[in-house]
Chain A
Amino acid sequence: MQLNDAAVVDTFAEAFAMWGARVVITAETAEWARAAAQSMTGFATSIIGCKCEAGIETELPPGETPDGRPGVSVLLFSTSAEGLGKRLVERVGQCVMTCPSTACYSGLAGTETVVVGGQLRYFGDKYQMSKLLDGRRLWRVPVMDGEFLVDDRFGIQPAVGGGNILILGRDQAVTLRAAEAAVSAMRRIPGAILPFPGGVVRSGSKPKSRYSFLFASTNDAYCPTLRSVAPESQIPEGVGCVLEIVIDGLDLAAVETAMRRGMHAAAAGGAMQISAGNYGGGLGQFQIALRSLLEGVGAGR
C-alpha cells in the first residue's frame, strides 16, 4: 500500500493494556502550570526504565479548569492501578506541589480511583485542611506561598500503551522532518500522548538481549548501520534513518486515531516507508494493523 511516496508495510503495532490517569495542573500563569507539567512528565518516556510513561495532553484555558486559572492536562500511564497510584503520589508530590502557585486536580471521573491528595496531605504536618465540595474532597496543604490544593482521589481507567509507528527515511534530516510533521498532527488528539522527547524515539528496543543481565536491547532490525550484518534487518536499500513515535492513550480509539493521522502526516512529510514495531503478537493485548487503520477499520475516530 502506498501513502503518497511512502510504502506502508503490511504489519501491525503491538500495544499493551495499561492504566491511565489525567492530571489537571493549574497555576497563576500558564508558564508556571507548564513548568510543573514539564517537570511531572520528565523522565517518563518508557515503562522499561521510568516505571511510568507520561506526557502533556494539552494546555487548558482558564475557562476549562476547575479553578478558572490557566492549566495543563497531563496523562500518566503505568502497568497496574497500584503502580499508577504510586507514580501519581511521587510525581504530584515532587513536581507539582513544589511548583509555585499550582493546584492539582483529577481529570478523570472514573469509578476506579487512587488516593493522591489523601497521601500528600501528611506533608501538612496536621495543619492541612480538607474540604468536601459537591461530593469532591480536596486537601489544602499549607506551603510557603500559600496553599497547595489537591484532589483527595484521582480517577484512573484502563488504557492502551505502546501504540507506535516507525518512519523510515532517506537520511536523518528528511526523516526528522517527517517525524516532526507526524508529531504535530498526533499531538492534537485528545486522550493521547507521545511520551518520548519531542514525541520521537530513536532508540527503539526489542525485548531481549545477548547479555544475560539485560531484558531489552537495541532494535537491530531497524538500525540502518546494521543493515548488512543484522540477520533480521528490515531496512530497505536507500534508508538511512528510522524514527519511532510511541503513543499511549486513554483508550484504543485515541491511539488508533493518533497513529492514522501520524502516518498521513509522515507520508506527506517525506517518509519512504512506514512500519510499526511488534513482538510477533505474543506480548501485547492489542494488535493495530497499519493498513486496516488507513482503510478506516478500527476503533479510532
Chain B
Amino acid sequence: MTLDLTLHTTPAVPLEADVLTPARLAGLTALEAAKLIVVHGNQPAELGEFFRVAGGTDGEIHLSGDLARVKLIGTGMTEGRIVVHGPVGMHLGAAMAGGEIVIEGNAGDWVGPEMTGGRIVVRGNAGHMVGAAYRGGHVGMRGGEIVIFGNAGNEVGSGMRRGLIAIGGDAGDFTGVNLLAGTIVVLGQLGWRTGAGMRRGTILAMHAAELLPTFSFACTYRPVILRLYLPYLRRLGLPVSDAQVQGSYQRWCGDAIELNRGEILLLETGETAPAA
C-alpha cells in the first residue's frame, strides 16, 4: 500500500518539504504524516495544511497536484520510491543517496544537486543546474543517475564528479561547466560554452555544436562504450536511435585551460554547428 499525498491547498509562497522521503515517512500513519512540519515561506506549518494524506507507506510515496512551489522533495533520500503526478519545485532530490524519484511533469531548478546515488527521472522539462554543485561548492553530483526526458536549463552537471545525466531534449548554456568526471548525454541541441573548464569526463551530444577554442578535435571514431550507454538510456525510455548507437562521433578534447582530459563526443551528422 502506498502513501498518497494530494495537494489540496496551493502554497502562496514556496513550501520546503524535505520531510517527503520514504525513510522519514516510514512507519507513520496518515494522521501522523499529516502532522509533520514543513516550512511555508518562513513559517512552520503542518504537512496536512497543504496535503490530504491517505494510505500507509511501503517505501513508495505518491504525490499529486501542482507542486511547482513545493521544494526539497526527496532531500537526502536513501531508499524507496517517490512518484509525483504533476510538476515539482526546486531542489528535487538534493543530496539524494539512493532510491528513485519519478516526476510525471516538469521540475524546477536544481534537480539532484550534489546527489551521490539513486535515480531521478523527470518526464517533462527541468530548470537550471541539474546535478550541479551548490554555489560556493566545487563538487556537484557524485553518483547516481538523472534522466530528463524534455529540455534542461543552464549548467547541467556543473562540477559533477561521477554519475550519469541524460537529457532527452535540448540543454542550455554551460553544459558540463567545470566537469570533474562523469557522463552527460544530450540528445537534443547543446547551448553555448559546453564543457567550459571541464577537467575530465564525457559530454555526449547528437548534434553539431560550436565548441570553445580551448577544445581540440582529435578524430572521428565509433566508441564502443556508447554501445553500452545508449542502449541503457533507451531501456530507460529515452528515444535513442540505432543510428546513434552505431554512429561515428567526433572526439574533442578539452578544456585546455584545465587538465585537457575531458572529451566532448559529437555524433557525425553532416550538419553545421549553429553560430554562437
Cross-chain contact of B223 among A69, A132, A134, A147 (Cβ < 8 A): A147
B227 near A67: Cβ-Cβ < 8 Å: yes
A131 near B225: Cβ-Cβ < 8 Å: yes
Main secondary structure of the interface of B (DSSP, over half): mixed
**Which 3 A-B residue pairings sit nearest by Cβ, starting from the closest?**
A67-B227, A149-B224, A146-B221
B227 near A68: Cβ-Cβ < 8 Å: yes
Name the distance in Å between A256's Cβ and chain B's nearest Cβ. Answer: 36
Once A129-B200, A129-B202, A132-B162 are accepted as A-B contacts, the answer to whether A66 and B222 lie under 8 Å apart by CB is: no
Note all chain B residues with C-beta closer than 8 A to A22.
none
A66 to B225, CA, bound (A): 10
Nearest to B246 among chain A residues (CB) is A68
Q: How many A-B residue pairs have CB under 8 A?
A: 45
Interface string of A119-144 (1 = CB under 8 A from B): 00000000101011110001010000
B232 near A146: Cβ-Cβ < 8 Å: no
Note all chain B residues with C-beta closer than 8 A to A103.
224
A26 to B224, CA, bound (A): 10
Nearest to B200 among chain A residues (CB) is A129
Note all chain A residues with C-beta closer than 8 A to B217.
none
Name the distance in Å between A113's Cβ and chain B's nearest Cβ. Answer: 19
A146 near B224: Cβ-Cβ < 8 Å: yes
A134 near B224: Cβ-Cβ < 8 Å: no
Note all chain A residues with C-beta closer than 8 A to B225.
131, 138, 140, 147, 149
Name the distance in Å between B224's Cβ and chain A's nearest Cβ. Answer: 5
A140 to B225, CA, bound (A): 8
Number of interface residues of A (CB under 8 A): 17
Note all chain B residues with C-beta closer than 8 A to A133.
164, 183, 228-229, 232
Interface string of A37-69 (1 = CB under 8 A from B): 000000000000000000000000000001111
- Given contacts A132-B163, A138-B228, A146-B224, list 13 more A-B pairs with CB under 8 A: A66-B228, A67-B224, A68-B227, A69-B227, A127-B261, A129-B263, A131-B202, A133-B164, A133-B183, A146-B223, A147-B221, A147-B223, A149-B225
Name the distance in Å between A204's Cβ and chain B's nearest Cβ. Answer: 42
| B231 contacts the other chain (CB 8 A) | yes
Note all chain B residues with C-beta closer than 8 A to A147.
221, 223-225
Note all chain B residues with C-beta closer than 8 A to A26.
224
Note all chain A residues with C-beta closer than 8 A to B183.
131, 133
Note all chain A residues with C-beta closer than 8 A to B101.
none
Name the distance in Å between B186's Cβ and chain A's nearest Cβ. Answer: 17
| B165 contacts the other chain (CB 8 A) | no
Nearest to A132 among chain B residues (CB) is B162
